[in-house]
């Protein structure tokens, strides 16, 4: 959710400022780029050097920097434009009042007034200050301006009192922002099933039948779905890929039968299913219990059909938007349309091995998206992350129609 985001953290002068060291680390771990702006008084509670080291960026304290006899200007307008979101934590009663009144007497406030991005603020003060009518007016005004308040928590306060006013813990701030951002994403509330990679069909304990699929396309589809707000179940055959995302549950399987079982276990609970795996059509009818020894003459392996996962899901489909993949070498469009109809799909993604840069193993793909109403859209050669975005854009336009 926060990966790749530019986050501007404003730190004001309250005892809770020491918690921002943990908040910066959590934001960095989440994949964000972090810059810190502090008020002068905040430096009494947390070291600018500490926050600079953790954020890997200089901490900004004033409009003007003086170094080695030269002067430079911290451009608050550029800072405000750089940020994808701004967090003010802790937000003291003094700063909240100034923010609500438009008072601009330090770099942090100037940056806040210049920001074009969403602004979150986490109040932090003693109990009586938090309950004072003027504080409530400041909070209400800031929310009415479009800012988002991260509610203060209850607990022991610096004064020794017990009650509301504690700044939310850093992990709770992170969770609040992530949950808030996900609300507006197009796949929020949706659950998605995606298959990826090859399957391996055992011949004996050391040999198998397989294919060249890397699983990259399925993993990119899963990552994109999660970034768009979905909860994702990714059923993956043997690959070297990993996907660490709070919204993605990766189920590792080996054979087509194991993939069949995993898909049917979860299919009834999902809204969208994408079968991007390269599933083996056949498997050895008899699996040798010991390693097969080389002998004179040819080796004959009797094969039997694997269950058709996509066809079986099409038979069970009731609410799901079901998408298949077709990798073709001849009569591409005709064969893809036939598969779409035969397997009761809502859409199919066509790849042609005749297109340079498409197919297994590479970092790019070239696709044609075909839906059940025979709407056809062909895309140029793109990277697989870009292809995943295109596929999801087509799906979302149909499930929200």
Sign for the pseudo-dihedral over CA of 265, 178, 185, 55: negative
Quick one: 176 and 200 in the same domain? no
Quick one: 204 and 164 in the same domain? no
Residue (of 361, 383, 391, 366) closest to 240 by Cα position: 361
Average pLDDT in the chain: 93
For the chain, the domain total comes to 2
pLDDT of residue 328: 81
Q: Does 352 score more than 80 pLDDT?
A: no
3-class state of residue 98 by DSSP: helix
Query: Which residue range forms the structural domain that includes residue 57?
Result: 6-182
Q: Characterize the bridge pairing of strands 367-371 and 347-352.
A: antiparallel
Sign for the pseudo-dihedral over CA of 155, 158, 162, 168: negative
Task: Note the pTM of the prediction, 2 decimals.
Answer: 0.79
Instruction: Label residue 252 by pLDDT band (50, 70, 90).
Output: very high
Q: Is residue 53 part of a domain?
A: yes
Strands (E), 167-284: 191-196, 201-202, 208-209, 231-236, 248-252, 272-275, 282-284
Report the catalytic residues: 211
Q: Is residue 65 part of a domain?
A: yes
Instruction: Label residue 113 by pLDDT band (50, 70, 90).
Output: very high
- The residue ranking higher by pLDDT, 74 or 146, is 146
Q: Does 72 score more than 90 pLDDT?
A: no
* Domain termination site, one of 151, 182, 213: 182
Q: Does 363 score more than 90 pLDDT?
A: no
Q: Does 359 score more than 70 pLDDT?
A: no
3-class state of residue 259 by DSSP: helix
* Domain termination site, one of 163, 182, 201: 182
* Domain termination site, one of 152, 182, 212: 182
Quick one: 173 and 95 in the same domain? yes
Cβ-contact 250, 266 below 8 angstroms: no
Quick one: 162 and 225 in the same domain? no
Q: Is residue 393 part of a domain?
A: yes
């Amino acid at each position: 959710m926060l990966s790749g985001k530019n986050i501007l953290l404003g730190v004001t002068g309250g005892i809770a400022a020491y918690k921002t060291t943990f908040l910066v680390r959590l934001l960095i771990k989440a994949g964000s780029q972090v810059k810190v702006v502090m008020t002068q008084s905040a430096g009494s509670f947390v070291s600018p050097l500490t926050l600079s080291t953790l954020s890997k960026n200089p901490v900004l304290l004033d409009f003007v920097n003086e170094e080695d006899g030269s002067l430079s200007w911290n451009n608050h307008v550029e800072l405000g434009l750089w940020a994808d979101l701004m967090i003010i934590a802790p937000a003291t009663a003094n700063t909240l009042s100034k923010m609500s009144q438009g008072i601009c007497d330090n770099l942090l406030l100037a940056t806040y007034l210049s920001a074009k991005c969403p602004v979150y603020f986490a109040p932090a003060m003693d109990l009586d200050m938090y309950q004072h009518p003027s504080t409530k007016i400041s909070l209400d005004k800031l929310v009415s301006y479009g800012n988002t308040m991260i509610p203060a928590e209850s607990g022991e306060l610096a004064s020794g009192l017990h009650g509301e006013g504690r700044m939310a813990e850093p992990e709770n701030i992170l969770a609040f922002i992530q949950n808030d951002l996900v609300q507006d994403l197009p796949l929020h509330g949706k659950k998605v099933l995606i298959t990826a990679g090859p399957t391996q069909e055992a011949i004996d304990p050391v040999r198998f039948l397989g294919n060249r699929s890397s699983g990259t396309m399925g993993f990119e589809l899963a990552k994109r779905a999660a970034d768009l707000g979905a909860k994702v179940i990714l059923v993956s055959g043997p690959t070297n890929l990993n996907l660490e995302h709070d919204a993605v549950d990766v189920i590792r399987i080996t054979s087509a039968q194991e993939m069949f079982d995993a898909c049917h276990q979860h299919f009834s609970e999902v809204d969208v299913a994408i079968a991007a795996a390269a599933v083996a059509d056949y498997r050895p009818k008899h699996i040798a219990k010991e390693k097969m020894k080389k002998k004179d003459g040819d080796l004959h392996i009797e094969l039997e059909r694997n269950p058709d996962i996509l066809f079986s899901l099409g038979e069970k489909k009731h609410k799901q938007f079901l998408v298949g993949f077709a990798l073709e070498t001849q009569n591409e469009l005709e064969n893809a349309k036939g598969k779409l109809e035969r397997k009761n799909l809502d859409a199919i993604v066509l790849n042609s091995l005749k297109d340079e840069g498409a197919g297994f193993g590479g970092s790019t793909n070239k696709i044609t998206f075909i839906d059940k109403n025979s709407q056809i859209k062909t895309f140029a050669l793109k990277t697989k992350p870009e292809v995943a975005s295109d596929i999801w854009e087509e799906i979302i336009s149909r499930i929200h129609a």
